Amino acid sequence: MTQAVFLCEAHALVDSSLAVPFEVRFLGKNHAAFAVRYQGRVHAYLNRCSHVPMEMDYQPNQFFDLSGQWLMCATHGATYAPQTGQCLLGPCRGGLEKIELSEADGLVHWHTSDKFQLPI
């Protein structure tokens, strides 16, 4: 059964700006995750590059490149589409692990799933 988990107030996510970090349980371990807003819609991913499983942000909560159009791994430069997590450029194997979000009444929630559970 899925569960909606409060993440943040909607105004905390600004288009192509800083992410809101959170934690999830993925494959039996707690991992960092992040949520961003891009072109008015909210998106969330596991904070783990598909090239090498390490966190992607180069400054705390900074995932967008300088253009504000792409999510970028600071270590090797893999570039991902903010809407889908699909790798577009650079060294990567597949895409980012997407976490389901919903936004209503000024609040953003992430949703548990078979892959993502509440951290322990």
Do the Cβ atoms of 79 and 90 come closer than 8 Å?
Answer: yes
CATH code for the domain in which residue 112 is found: 2.102.10.10
Q: What is the mean pLDDT of residues 92-112?
A: 95
99 exposed, middle or buried (CB, 10 Å; 0-12, 13-18, 19+)? buried
Q: How distant is the alpha carbon of residue 42 from its chain centre?
A: 9
Query: What pLDDT digit, counting tens, does each position of 48-101 carry?
Result: 998 887 899 988 999 999 999 999 999 888 999 999 999 998 887 789 999 999
Q: Which two tokens stand for residue 19?
A: 């992410």
**Residue range(s) defining the domain that contains residue 63:** 4-117
Q: How many domains does the chain have?
A: 1
**Res 91: pLDDT:** 81
Cα–Cα distance, 120 to 110 (Å, whole number) = 16
Query: What pLDDT digit, counting tens, does each position of 6-65 carry?
Result: 999 999 999 999 999 999 999 999 999 999 999 999 999 999 998 887 899 988 999 999
pTM of full prediction above 0.85: yes
